Chain A
């Protein structure tokens, strides 16, 4: 039988760990709400932008003739994996890095790959392993807003148009719901045809387009790209907090179970000790009487 004092110590240690995981869960829940809020707030902007862009492109005859859509033979690739700054969020980070490693091993094997990690975890992972890493932006999750994210998107876009990279790929956790994250590999550049799923009713023929269709498209496409990038960052951010919340919830639950077992063990040990003591006393009394 285990020692009473030892069991008691374990109970205290488990319950204080449980308090920490409980607090972390609550913090993650609050942060998740904020992150979801951000996604909701940018939705009207992105929807309107997509719908205007779609219709102007449709008015031009459908084909995009801009630098961001240029298809080149792929030699130099920029991968942008998005992870978190901190751990304790389940498989969130390892999923993103696994997907990135998969790309490195298969699709882009033998190509000249550069990695632009977002989030401290992937930054540390890839710099330690000797990949070509651009480490200027990995702290973006300290303060997620459009201003900061725009800078990164601009960097990627400029290095694409200048020919430094022929392809830019985003790897991030798509936020399905609080408990589920879906790893997503999305080609950022060259950009595909505009997404028509968010289309509103809009008859472009009735519109005056100032100063010209071409000008508007050239003006809107970079905005649309930045918005797409921002969306991915927000998704990843929300997923991180969702993942942390679920994993901390699990941890709290496990601690509960462990505590139950420990308490049972404690009481059993205590009872055994008492029974033992009584037995000894009775035996002692009997021995005295029988003298």
Chain B
């Protein structure tokens, strides 16, 4: 299990445990699984999806940045749609 937090300047969109998360990296989409190496990546406009106990969910973001470290994922996006 990894801890995922999605934040925008206006609100916290999601915070919770996920088993998997996929991000629209600036140089191509990539997936983060448990024990992923520490990474900071710029994100392009696109689809963010993640799997929780309840199932798969997804949001569209307008670019941003993601930081993964020690099974903690923080996604900063200026705008999250849906």
Contacts and interface: CB of A to CB of B under 8 A. Distances in A.
B42 interface: yes
Interface centre among B9, B39, B63, B67 (most CB of A within 10 A): B9
Given A52-B65, A215-B26, A223 B78 contact: yes
A44 B25 CA distance: 22
Interface stretch (A108-116, A143-151, A245-253): A143-151
A147 B9 CA distance: 9
Given A210-B42, A220-B65, A41 B11 contact: yes
A14 to B, nearest CB: 43
A52 B27 CA distance: 19
B38 to A, nearest CB: 5
A133 interface: no
B60 interface: no
Contacts of A52: 40, 65, 67, 76
Interface in A203-233: 206-211, 215-216, 219-220, 223, 226-227, 230
Contact of A41 (B12, B30, B38, B76): B12
Given A41-B10, A41-B11, A146-B9, A208 B76 contact: no
A223 B38 contact: no
Interface in B9-38: 9-12, 25-27, 30, 37-38
A207 B39 contact: yes
Chain B interface size range? 20 to 34
B9 A230 contact: yes
A185 B7 CA distance: 29
A131 B76 CA distance: 39
A132 B37 CA distance: 53
A45 B9 contact: yes
B37 to A, nearest CB: 6
Contact of B76 (A38, A48, A150, A230): A48
A52 B7 CA distance: 14
Contacts of A269: none
A208 B40 contact: yes
B39 A208 contact: yes
A56 B76 contact: no
A265 interface: no
Contacts of A91: none
Contact of B42 (A150, A219, A227): A219
B66 to A, nearest CB: 9
A208 B42 contact: no
A42 interface: yes
Given A150-B78, A210-B26, A223-B76, A45 B38 contact: no
A49 interface: yes
Contact of A146 (B8, B38, B40): B8
Interface of B: 7-12, 25-27, 30, 37-42, 63-65, 67, 69, 74, 76, 78-79
In the A-B complex, the 6 residue pairs with the closest CB atoms: A210-B41, A211-B27, A146-B9, A208-B39, A219-B42, A42-B9
Given A45-B8, A52-B65, 16 more contacts: A42-B10, A44-B12, A45-B7, A48-B7, A48-B67, A48-B74, A206-B38, A208-B40, A210-B30, A211-B26, A211-B41, A216-B40, A220-B42, A220-B65, A223-B76, A230-B9
Interface of A: 38, 41-42, 44-46, 48-49, 52, 56, 145-147, 150, 206-211, 215-216, 219-220, 223, 226-227, 230
